[in-house]
């Protein structure tokens, strides 16, 4: 009995802690409160009144950086509280958080431009430090040492895809306790599905022409098999891509997002519907894998979207946008 109880004991403290903290800034109530803030100071005071948040800075950029620190501190704290066997997974999750900035850094570098970023993940920080002082011709060799096949002539699309593959592979291979493997695998599968759908939508919206689907395909996830991806790739327009998802658990959410994007004339809302699908997925994983990795995964993914929401509101306040303009860009769940 004691042996069988050990997994529960190891996960009991971090699960109880995050349950007490919660994720307020994906709930409509807390977000509506923030949308009433008409200055950055009132915004900071409201955010800092919630447990586990400490935001500072006087300008938009300073507050955005402070929010990034809140995100990484949340992951690092959870990493310390969780079983040691999960630490590798958290390290790979930090790479997922860093991936957007690394993509932009590499795309700028291959164009001969400079972009200053400071990744939180150890390997990504090493990549950036080495490339900052390297000649353009040395970039492929440096990246190759980390398992990234990116040349100086690589198309920006392929830079995004290579980093996505790197991050997804890292998460899929990260060691976790046996009791947590199913939750990890489902999370990675959902991540692959949503990344594949996002890439197809971006390709169609940007009117990019590719010779074959293989270049864009990140692998099979939970529901998007290779044959379905190939059919979606051949779609003539966005309407056909959306209808091609019918029969999957993603269809209703993305169809609603597509309709709202047309109503507001803002394609960003369609992409936000993909994030809502990810949030819904981790909420379901949490229920199925309680009290092990599921709730912890739900917390850090939800925290990621909380930080995204807060950044959107900060930007909206800085640009003096109305709350009706800001709210459709927020990710609400919980």
pLDDT tens for 203-261 read 999 888 888 999 999 999 999 999 999 999 999 999 999 999 999 999 999 999 999 99
SS3 224: coil
Q: Average pLDDT, stretch 171-178?
A: 96
> Per-residue pLDDT tens for 305-332?
999 999 999 999 999 999 999 999 999 9
> Per-residue pLDDT tens for 5-14?
557 889 999 9
What pLDDT was estimated at residue 195? 97
Query: Which numeric CATH code is attached to 1-15+23-64+292-334?
Result: 1.10.132
Tell me the pLDDT of the chain averaged across its residues.
94
In sequence order, what are the residues at sequence separation of 6 or more whose Cβ sits closer than 8 angstroms to the Cβ of residue 332?
Answer: 26, 27, 28, 31, 276
> Per-residue pLDDT tens for 57-102?
999 999 999 999 999 999 999 999 999 999 999 999 999 999 999 9
User: How much of the chain exceeds pLDDT 90, in percent?
Assistant: 88
Domain boundaries, the chain: 1-15+23-64+292-334, 84-174, 178-289
Give 164's DSSP letter: H
| Whether pLDDT at 268 is above 80 | yes
In sequence order, what are the residues at sequence separation of 6 or more whose Cβ sits closer than 8 angstroms to the Cβ of residue 232?
Answer: 197, 200, 224, 241, 244, 245
Residue with the two structure tokens 């996505």: 164
pTM across the whole model: 0.94
């Amino acid at each position: 009995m004691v042996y069988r109880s050990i997994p529960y004991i190891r996960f009991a403290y971090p699960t109880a802690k995050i349950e007490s903290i919660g994720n307020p800034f994906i709930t409509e109530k807390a977000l509506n409160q923030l949308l009433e803030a008409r200055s950055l100071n009132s915004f900071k005071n409201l955010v800092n009144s919630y447990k586990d948040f400490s935001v500072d800075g006087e300008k938009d950029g300073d507050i955005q950086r402070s929010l990034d620190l809140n995100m990484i501190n949340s992951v690092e704290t959870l990493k310390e509280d969780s079983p040691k066997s999960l630490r590798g997974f958290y390290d790979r999750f930090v790479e997922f958080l860093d991936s957007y900035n690394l993509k932009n850094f590499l795309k700028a570098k291959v164009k001969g431009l400079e972009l200053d970023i400071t990744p939180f993940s150890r390997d990504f920080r090493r990549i950036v430090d080495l490339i900052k002082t390297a000649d353009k011709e040395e970039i492929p060799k440096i990246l190759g040492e980390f398992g990234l096949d990116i040349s100086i002539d690589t198309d920006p699309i392929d830079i995004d895809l290579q980093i996505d593959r790197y991050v997804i592979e890292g998460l899929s291979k990260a060691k976790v306790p046996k009791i947590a493997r199913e939750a990890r695998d489902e999370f990675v599968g959902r991540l692959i599905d949503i990344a594949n759908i996002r890439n197809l939508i971006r390709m169609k919206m940007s009117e990019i022409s590719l010779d074959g689907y293989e270049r864009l395909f990140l692998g099979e996830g939970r529901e998007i098999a290779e044959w379905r991806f190939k059919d979606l790739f051949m779609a003539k327009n966005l309407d056909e891509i959306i209808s091609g998802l019918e029969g999957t658990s993603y269809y209703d959410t993305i169809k609603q997002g597509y309709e709202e994007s047309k109503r507001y004339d803002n394609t960003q809302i369609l992409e936000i519907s993909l994030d809502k699908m990810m949030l819904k997925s981790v909420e379901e994983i949490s229920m199925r894998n309680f009290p092990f990795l599921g709730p912890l995964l739900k917390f850090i993914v939800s925290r990621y979207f909380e930080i995204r929401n807060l950044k959107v509101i900060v930007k909206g306040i800085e640009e003096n946008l109305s709350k009706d303009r800001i709210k459709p860009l927020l990710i609400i769940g919980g």
